[in-house]
Amino acid sequence: MSGRLKKVSLIALAFALLCGASWVQQALNRDRNRLGLTRVEPLKNAPPVLAFTTVALGGFRGLIANALWIRMTELQDEDKFFEMQQLADWITKLEPHFPQVWVHQAWNMAYNISVKFKENAPGVYTDRWRWVRAGIVLLRDEGLLYNPNEVLIYRELAWFFQHKMGANLDDANMHYKQAWANEMAEVFGKARPNLEELIHPQTDDARRRLTLLRNVYKMDPVCMKEVNERYGPLEWRLPEAHAIYWGARGLQTARENPTKVKPDDLIQLRRAIYQSMQLSFRRGKLIENPFVHAFEFGPNLDIIPKVNAAYEEAMEEDAPNREHISKAHRNLLRDAVYFLYVHDRRADAAQWYQYLATKYPNKTILDNNPNSLPSQLTLDEYVVAHVVEDVKETDRDRIQSAIEGFTISAYRALVLAERDLYAGYRVLSRRVWTAYMNAIKGNEARIGLPPVEDTEKKVLERLLMPDGVFTFEMRAVLRTELGLGPEPPPASTATNAPPATTNSPAIIPAGK
């Protein structure tokens, strides 16, 4: 073969190989896109350093990120948190399209690093909250910015609100809730949010709060309204409402990108929604106390029908876990009956008790009692037996709700001159309190209850408010029975004298 022919053959071979490589590369790119691997789409609105790392470093980004990850683990063991945070920032810049990187770094901040910090003062966890909030911001503000269609990030964001902030597993959980409520008060005010006002702002203040909601918290009031109509009314100053919001956004994203969704992600999103709705039902009402600069929780009994619908929808859509969800659903119905009863909504309690009996006629409704079928117990018998079960449990929200319900019923009985019933309710609330505190001995700081006397005082203050549930006549009788003075006149009719103060209640001793 002559030299010229040899050169022509080599050129032809090189051209054929290039064509073949191009064809293979196109096939690989299609497979990568289908499987969600190593995406290299250009970033939108990315800072220069991030644009540089994603283009210039190419495949070396993964190697560099692995090395930084190893070093970051060493820094965490050495409690060098700020250096570790810097490395985490570099890693997310090297792998911005890899959702597990964002999830891992956010989890590290909110769960692993935050617990290294102790109280700044009794009940104050400013440093710990800073790290929990940083984890949420990382997912919401940056993770979703570069991965807007990744269901995993929505799922994790919902979990942070539901579990880290909403649950009571962290000693600082009340500080988290208070800090978040303070932030949300800047957006919604100190009342139930008016979403229509934010969707169609008419004042400078409304426009300012809408800008804050969209730009800082990355939330859409139109989507919030849809979530509220489907799952609420929700209290948007509490974390459970935000868990439901991000879970619903995740489900919407999954419907729009079905090829990039894993079944487990959908299960987790549905679970975040109906479990957060259950928490919202049990303690999703935010009660502003005008006498102290704090808030109290109360059950949001109005959303019981929608919580029930969410569980039934989850059972319908998640057939493999239907049996597991049905157990949770049955527990929800039992709790709904119980909470409604002790909050003096007995007609509603009777309605849901009948629904429970119809839905699960062959399932017992009391633990460790094989004879407790709905057909074998009246509503009253069930509630009394439920109290006996409760004092053996360590569920703070349920016990506190029961004590508040007994206290309301006690004052109502006193108004109706049923003094023995009044005393009986007070004795029962103290027995429940004592049994619960004995059951959680050693964990009082985390899940302890306030003294019954404090609860009675707070409930009485709410009942004596002019806009409370008691009428003027009922308040007058209650004041007379407790030895209080007459109701102070409204502020608008007051003279130049200083505002009247509420007299300390002289509560009748139990049993007298």
Q: Residue by residue, what is the 3-state secondary structure of 34-50?
A: HHCCCCCCCCCCCCHHH
Residue 248's pLDDT is: 93
Confidence of residue 139 (pLDDT cuts 50, 70, 90): very high
Residue 511's pLDDT is: 46
Residue type, 186: E
Contact between 336 and 355 (Cβ < 8 Å): no
How many percent of the chain have pLDDT more than 70? 81
Residue 58's pLDDT is: 53
Residue 460's pLDDT is: 93
127-131 average pLDDT score: 93
Q: How far is CA 299 from CA 225, 289, 371, in A?
A: 21, 16, 30
Query: Is the pLDDT at 500 greater than 50, yes or no?
Result: no
For the whole model, what pTM was predicted? 0.69
Residue type, 129: W
Residue with tokens 């080599």: 10
Query: Is the pLDDT at 492 greater than 60, yes or no?
Result: no
* Cα–Cα nearest to 439, from 396, 404, 384: 396
Q: Name the least confident of 43-57, 237-251, 285-299.
A: 43-57
454-480 per-position pLDDT tens digit: 999 999 998 998 877 788 888 888 999
Distance CA 12, CA 253 (A): 48
User: Terminus-to-terminus CA distance in the chain, angstroms?
Assistant: 120
Residue 91's pLDDT is: 76
Confidence of residue 59 (pLDDT cuts 50, 70, 90): low
396-423 average pLDDT score: 84
Distance CA 507, CA 377 (A): 35
Distance CA 224, CA 206 (A): 16
201-205 average pLDDT score: 91
207-220 average pLDDT score: 94
Q: Around Cβ 179, how many Cβ atoms within 10 Å?
A: 19
CB neighbours of 346 closer than 8 A, spacing ≥ 6? 340, 379
Distance CA 356, CA 488 (A): 46
Residue type, 249: R
330-338 average pLDDT score: 90
Residue 493's pLDDT is: 47
Q: Name the least confident of 63-67, 131-135, 157-161, 251-255.
A: 63-67
221-234 per-position pLDDT tens digit: 999 999 999 998 89
Residue 75's pLDDT is: 75
Identify the residue with better confidence: 43 or 492: 492
Confidence of residue 138 (pLDDT cuts 50, 70, 90): very high
- Please tell me whether the peptide bond between 233 and the residue prior to it is cis, using omega within 30 degrees of 0: yes
Query: Is the pLDDT at 69 greater than 60, yes or no?
Result: yes
Residue 9's pLDDT is: 76
Residue 168's pLDDT is: 84
Helix (H) or strand (E) holding 182: helix 173-188
Query: Is the pLDDT at 204 greater than 60, yes or no?
Result: yes
Q: Name the least confident of 54-68, 146-160, 219-233.
A: 54-68
Confidence of residue 290 (pLDDT cuts 50, 70, 90): very low
471 in helix, strand or coil?
A: coil
Query: Is the pLDDT at 65 greater than 90, yes or no?
Result: no
262-275 average pLDDT score: 81
